[in-house]
Amino acid sequence: MESSIKTNRLAIVSFVSGLIALLSIGLIFVLYNSQEVTGGIISITDGILIPVRNLCVAVALLTGILALREIKKKDGTEKGKILAWVGIVLGAGWMLFGLLVGLTFLLAEILH
C-alpha cells in the first residue's frame, strides 16, 4: 500500500487566515473608497471587517509557528512548510504594518 504524506492542518489554517486578512484589507479599502460612504458601510467595516482581520492576523501567525513545530517533530511525514511560512509572513507583516502606522500617528501627535 502506498503511504501518502498529509498536509499539516495548522499550516492550512495559517495560510487561509492570512488570505482572509489580506482579502479583508482589500475589501475595507474598496468600501472606504466607494462613492458613497455611509454609516452602514462604516459600521460594517469597523464593527465586522476590522475585528475579523485582526483575529485572522493573530491566528495566521500563531498557527503558522505551531505548524512549523509540528512538521519538524514529524520528520517528513507531514508537509505544509510553505503554507505555514506564508501564514507567518502575512500575519507578521500586517502586525508590523499596524505597529508602524500606530507609531506614525503617535509621533505625529507628539510632534504637532
Residue 1 has pLDDT above 60, yes or no: no
Which residues does 51 contact at the CB level (< 8 Å), separation at least 6? none
Q: Residues for the chain: how many in total?
A: 112
Q: Does residue 78 sit in helix, strand or coil? A: strand
pLDDT band at 25 (very low <50, low <70, confident <90, very high): confident
pLDDT band at 28 (very low <50, low <70, confident <90, very high): confident
How far apart, in whole angstroms, are the C-alpha atoms of residue 107 and residue 76? Answer: 47
Instruction: Please compute the mean of the pLDDT values over residues 49-74 and round it to a whole number.
Output: 93
pTM: 0.81
Instruction: Please compute the mean of the pLDDT values over residues 4-30 and round it to a whole number.
Output: 90
Instruction: Please compute the mean of the pLDDT values over residues 16-21 and round it to a whole number.
Output: 94
Report the chain's mean pLDDT, rounded to a whole number.
Answer: 87
How far apart, in whole angstroms, are the C-alpha atoms of residue 14 and residue 29? Answer: 23
Mind listing the pLDDT tens digit for each residue in 62-82?
Answer: 999 999 999 999 887 899 999
Instruction: Break the chain down into helix, strand, coil percent, rounded to 5.
Output: 80, 5, 15
